[in-house]
Amino acid sequence: MGVVAPSWGGPAALPRPFVRGLAAFDHAGYRVRVMPNVHSQDWEWVSGTASERASDLMTAFVDAEVRAIICAIGGDHSAQLLPLLDMDLIAANPTIFCGYSDITALHHGIHRATGLVTFYGPAVIPQWGAVGGPFDYTVDHFQQVVGEARPAGRLPHAAVEVHDND
């Protein structure tokens, strides 16, 4: 699993939830590879230059050992990556791509250019890195959706909302 930060520099700003999220993926049985620029810095609204962020995403797509790409968190300005992505190379290397919020620009851009299906879903810091670990329904549904080539059924509903001030 490749971890990217195409928007906000959450891993630099929130290192403890980021490490918790990586540990939760490990505990769920995933081998995690954090892309080179994820920890670069927190530039307040982005995790690095558009070129650095695009490079991480392309590196993850072409790495034969990366079977899924998960975003660290949402944020701002992921649309800056679209003109820098090699959509033909992405189409030739279909990989699970999961994230939400600002990552929606990448979901739409990748789908429009390649026809690939992407996954609007949990990110490393806010869901997998939650205090106390991710909710069971997050892990179970994620594994059901990305781990099996069949309809996932009804979406789970959270009965609570957690705010992490960590």
Query: What domains can you pick out in the chain, each with its CATH number?
Result: 2-133 (3.40.50.10740)
Kindly report the length of the chain.
166
DSSP-H helix ranges across 63-125: 87-92, 104-114
pLDDT band at 147 (very low <50, low <70, confident <90, very high): confident
User: Residue 120 has what DSSP assignment?
Assistant: E
Nearest to 78 by CA among 98, 99, 102, 55: 102
Element (DSSP H or E) covering residue 60: helix 50-62
Q: What is the pLDDT of residue 19?
A: 97
Give mean pLDDT, residues 15-28.
96
Among 10-14, 17-21, 103-107, the minimum mean pLDDT is found in 10-14
pTM: 0.90
Asked if residue 130 has pLDDT above 70, the reply is yes
Given pLDDT bands bounded at 50, 70 and 90, which one contains residue 152?
A: confident
- Which band of pLDDT confidence, cut at 50, 70 and 90, is reported for residue 127? very high
